[in-house]
Amino acid sequence: MRWLGLVARNLLRRPGRAAFTLLGVALAVASYVALTGLARGMIEGAGASHDERGVDLIVTHRGMVDMFAGSLPDSLAAAIGSQPGVAEVAAELDTALELGDGQAVVAGWRRDQFTFREMRLRGGRLPRDGQAEVVLGDLLAEAADVDLNGEIELNFERFRVVGISAYETGYLRNMAIMPLPNLQALLARPGQATLVQVRLQQPGDADAREAARARIAALRPNLSVSTTAEAMRSSRLIQMIDSTSLAISIVALAIGCLSVLNTLAMGVEERTREIGILSAIGWSRRRILALILSEGFVLAGIGGLVGVLLGWVGHNVLVDSLTPGGGLSASAMVGQAVRAEVAALLVGLTGALVPAWRASRLAPAAALRHQ
């Protein structure tokens, strides 16, 4: 019998037990994929949205806890725009509001600044100051089942959809956009912005960029001037999500490891006589060790593949409900899947170590007498 066939036969002797163990590993891997990718996806999505709009730096309040809770005076944009090395600036107010059965990121942009002026539209027109008008990203419009001239409700107020945007990044395609004064009035936050976006005159010159950062940071206390990724990583909310997700994933993987250990330990106990026969006919301890480790490897490997699929679905559900547009890109998800599968294989091998060592140490005579 071929090696893989022998491993499969041993695992299928107790198909119910093997299936439950496989499911345990799959759920552990799924939690790892779904949760640990959440914070990384939020960082990646926000960064891609700023790259699409040609933003080089963003200015936020230092130590922000919630990425939507930062508060700066929108008048700061003019002071930043007057600094040497700065080409253009745009103040932005962001929040998350209920829309239908889910949530939407809503942004307020000033009509006279580059983000609003360069807004890409698939259809319709730009919203006007003082009017209950909004532009929806195409994915958000599809999810809300609304089109041009339709209406949506934000913060208990009705808004007319006057435009559908045509951006490429998921974060912007799931965003509702209105003039900054309109969102400030809706949220009762007059004169406030969440962040200021900066375009530099020489974005490729590292020295010029650092000099501009220093000049902007000196404008007032507690300013953070950084790239999008740096700002998102410094957010305490992102750090909390990342740490919590990692802790839950580690616990889940540990449980998966114990599940593999329990299954293989029981299998070794039930096959003691058979292992004794293999030893008596010439199987070395190393070969018996390799057999049990192979069983753990195969069990965890298949469970890992199932877990990656479940985790990918779970990640998308979490993103759609919590941070629309904040999902991982295809390349990042592939990397996440590879890391998850490696973790699953390590879980399988770790869980199989004790049963494999015990099986390899069985004395043939004592094993043959086992009933």
Estimate the share of the chain in helix, then strand, then coil, as percent rounded to the nearest 5.
55, 20, 25
- Do the Cβ atoms of 196 and 89 come closer than 8 Å? yes
User: Given the DSSP bridges, would you call strands 102-109 and 175-179 parallel, antiparallel or unpaired?
Assistant: parallel
Q: Is the pLDDT of residue 216 over 90?
A: yes
Residue in 339, 316, 335, 312 with CA at minimum distance from that of residue 327: 316
Residue 120: per-residue pLDDT: 92
pTM for this predicted structure: 0.68
Per-residue pLDDT tens digits for 236-257? 666 676 777 778 778 887 887 7
Per-residue pLDDT tens digits for 301-335? 888 888 888 888 877 776 666 555 555 556 666 77
Both structure tokens of 220: 């007032």
State what percent of residues in the chain have pLDDT above 90. 29
